[in-house]
Structure formats: C-alpha cells, structure tokens
Amino acid sequence: MNVMEAMRASLAALEPSSVEIIDDSAKHAGHAGAKSGGGHYRLSIVSPHFAGRKTMERHRLVYDALGPLMKREIHALGITAKSPDEP
C-alpha cells in the first residue's frame, strides 16, 4: 500500500464524504524532510466529525486519524477540513 492509499484508509475513521490528496513531494526535492523519506501532501476532506469544531480541533482529528504516518511517511501536510454543510 502506498502512502496516499494508507492515508485514505486511515482517514476512513472520520467517515468522510470527500477526500482529495495531492502529493507535492516533487516540489520539495532536496528539502530535509524529503531526504528522510517524508512526503509533502495537501489534503482536502469533508466530514460530519468537523461540524461545530474550530480549525485546530479539525486538524487534530486528522492528525490523530493519520497516527503513525505523521511520524515517518508524512513530513508536511496542508489541510482543508470542512463539514458537509460548509461551502
């Protein structure tokens, strides 16, 4: 399973209606994080678990769902997290 597949599998715990993951690792070639094997990703996710939560709380839910991936496979992660009722 590649990193993006592992991310999708881990994020399933948030019951998302939409998940988009973009691998920006190539843009950061030579960066210290890239040298250690961690990738750079952008995530856009829509989940009912984000309803009524502030941005920091939403990001914490994402980090918690990704768990061990955040320690090695993911060096940088840009997150857009919305609830289904948000545009």
Q: How far apart are CA 15 and CA 31, in angstroms?
A: 33
Does residue 49 contact residue 11 with C-beta atoms inside 8 Å? no
Q: Which CATH architecture fits 3-82?
A: 2-Layer Sandwich (3.30)
Q: Look at residue 75 in the predicted model and tell me its pLDDT.
A: 87
The answer for residues whose C-beta is within 8 angstroms of residue 19's C-beta and 6 or more apart is 8, 11, 43, 44, 45, 46
For the chain, give every domain's residue range: 3-82
b/e for 12-29, b at 16 or more Cβ within 10 A? eebebeebebeeebeebe
Render pLDDT for 25-68 as a digit per residue (tens, 0 to 9): 877 666 554 555 678 999 999 999 999 999 999 999 999 999 99
